[in-house]
Amino acid sequence: MATTRYELGIDAARIDAIDMHVHLEVDSCGHGSLPEALTEASAKYFKAEDRTPSLDRIAEVYRELNMAAVVFTVDARTQLKHEPNSIPELIAGAVRNNDVLIPFGSVDPRTGEDAIAGAKHQAVELGARGFKFHPSLQGFDPSNQRFYPLWETLQELGLPAIFHTGQNGMGAGLPGGYGIKLAYSNPLLLDAVAADFPGLQIIMAHPSVPWQDEANSIATHKANVFIDLSGWSPKYFPESLVKASGSYLQDKVLFGTDFPLITPQKWLGAFADLPLKDEVRPKILKHNAVRLLGLGPE
């Protein structure tokens, strides 16, 4: 299935890093990606200073840092009964800032055929370079074969998919966690997807606490599975993840922050203290992402 590939202006040889996990939380009309209660709870959980920077402001931040960034939102309209912020606007804004931003789309898997049509539209018509899913926030089990036609579509499009895994800051501290179920973000649910769709590049987002060993195992076993390191300060990474990142998973691990919840400066400051070999650090910060995203010669 052919996709429209507008020309990215990112010079992989000149940038220092690629942040694989950046959220755009509000569109130009002021509509947020989440209900207000979730936005407030997550800002408190992460102690975020600026929860809703504009897309152009995000581009400025990464331009100043000499980095590129993958940007996205999450379409969880069925579970949250709340429309996402504008995904077409997000993609268009990333195209406008294509020297530093790489747009990923999002669809709600629970909308069935509409999700498949939406994924094709975002990729082929608008120019999305991948997709973001949050099983807990969207309320679905990615291993359920009900959703296999969507994964088949993404495989045909040849675009990677980021899936939230592990602990969830969304709903943290609220009664019942706002109805958000952590079990949907167990990385083991992605093992079946990776096995049945070997051409789909899957990125397991975040340290997958409390299932880190499971995530390490899946990324080791499946050539099409990667781990991004977003959502946690590196000083809190599970020891098994640090050891794996410096050895047998050094080609499968990706830099990510969860900006604006965690800033690149804070993340990198803690990353510098991890016991990693000098030759491994540039792989995590840039080279693995360049290869995965097909950004060309470094």
In-domain check, residue 90: yes
Closest CA to 270 of 230, 243, 297, 227: 230
pLDDT value for 296: 75
Q: What is the CATH number of the domain that holds 249?
A: 3.20.20.140
In-domain check, residue 8: no
In-domain check, residue 32: yes
* Residue 87: domain span: 17-293
pLDDT value for 5: 55
**Mean pLDDT, range 33-39, rounded to an integer:** 77
pLDDT value for 81: 94
In-domain check, residue 11: no
The answer to whether the beta carbons of residues 110 and 154 sit under 8 Å apart is no
In-domain check, residue 168: yes
In-domain check, residue 9: no
User: In total, how many domains does the chain have?
Assistant: 1
Over the stretch 192-251, which tens digit does the pLDDT of each residue have? 999 999 999 999 999 999 999 999 999 999 999 999 999 999 999 999 999 999 999 999
Closest CA to 211 of 188, 194, 195, 228: 188
Over the stretch 131-167, which tens digit does the pLDDT of each residue have? 999 999 999 999 999 999 999 999 999 999 999 999 9
Percentage above 90 pLDDT, the chain: 83
pLDDT value for 171: 81
In-domain check, residue 37: yes
Over the stretch 267-276, which tens digit does the pLDDT of each residue have? 999 999 999 9
Percentage above 70 pLDDT, the chain: 93
The beta strands (E) that lie in 177-282 are given as 202-205, 225-228, 253-254
